[in-house]
Amino acid sequence: MRVLVTGCAGFIGAHVVTFALRSGSSVLGIDNLSTDYDVRLKEWRLGRLVGQPGFRFCRADLTDQAALGRTLEGEFRIGEPVGAVIHLAGQVGLRRSLESPSAYYESNVVGTLNLLELCRLRGVPHIVLASTAAVYSVSTRPGAAGAPVLDSTRGAVQPSSDSPYATSKRAAEQLVRLYHETYGIDVVIARLFTVYGPAGHPEMSVFRFVRAIGEGEPVEILGDGTQRRDFTYVEDVVAGLVASTRLAGLHIIDLGTGTLTSVIEVVERLARIMGRTPTIHSSAAHPVDSADCGADVGHACDVVGWKATTSLDVGLRKCVVWFEQNRDWVATLALGAPYLTERTRADR
């Protein structure tokens, strides 16, 4: 099958392309190489994909519908028809969405709508939307190890925070449901839980922790570190996304481990793996962050036959190995708001 992957130079997107190619699919990858974070990381990921048999890259911006159609006109005529879309492009991050909410709505809502129109007009039968655990409201139902998990009912849910990111992803979910109900496109909404792995997003915790420990810098933690997350290794998530392209109808699944681990425990595990004793700096918790966040993995297992298999220590060790192999340039990557302010405003 030929698969269209949006956000192919992103963290999860690049891993999806690699997995799909190894599984025998051909891939058309789309990315606008935006400067929402240091673009050198995206260029590194993309550089490892370009030239692989079965992969074609198209630089395109989903938010520009007319330009998107013109750019992809020829691509849709080359090779076999696109059998499925795995949609990963968009702006991520609860906290940063408070600083530029319009950018999140443009990317996550308008971009998704333009993609859906493309699928409708081109007869693409299946779309997998990468959504987020942030759309869930907190439930008191006991989960893994007796911890509260999130309400994973298949009906409507309220975003778990007031962040533009959560509400924009919920709006994207509603759009793909609409296109399923109106036009019969098969849809899978995959809600992802704290994905980590090599060449990860530089604003995510594991990437920052590994680099800080490796460079002997203070490890910055928001809150006291007792907040727990469902840390899920990227290759497990990717396997679930690709497997979801086989499903007909409408499905909503969680892709996580179902096991919660505190942020401070992740730091401690990384310190042991790296043989370092980090200095930890704590600051006030951010108001959009939830205390605990874990997946309900039963439905994914039932309908896809999917289950996360990578242990946390194995996954963290792979992150450390990647950092050490690429330390010369990864240590120079710009992180956080200063980079975004200087580069994004200049580009606009």
Q: What is the pLDDT of residue 124?
A: 95
SS3 state at 197:
coil
Q: pLDDT of 144-181, one tens digit each? A: 444 444 444 444 445 555 677 888 899 999 999 999 99
165 counts as catalytic: yes
Q: What is the pLDDT of residue 40?
A: 95
Report which DSSP code applies to 198: T
- 87 φ, ψ (degrees, to nearest 5): -100, 105
Q: What is the pLDDT of residue 94?
A: 60
Residues of the chain with pLDDT under 50: 139-157, 337-348
Q: What is the pLDDT of residue 322?
A: 98
Picking from 178, 65, 85, the residue whose alpha carbon sits closest to that of residue 130 is 85
**Diameter over CA atoms, the chain:** 56
Residue with tokens 């849809």: 187
**Residue among 37, 105, 165, 179 flagged as catalytic:** 165
- Contacts of 17 by beta carbon, 8 Å cutoff, 6+ apart: 5, 8, 27, 29, 49, 55
What the chain holds in terms of domains, given with CATH numbers, is: 2-341 (3.40.50.720)
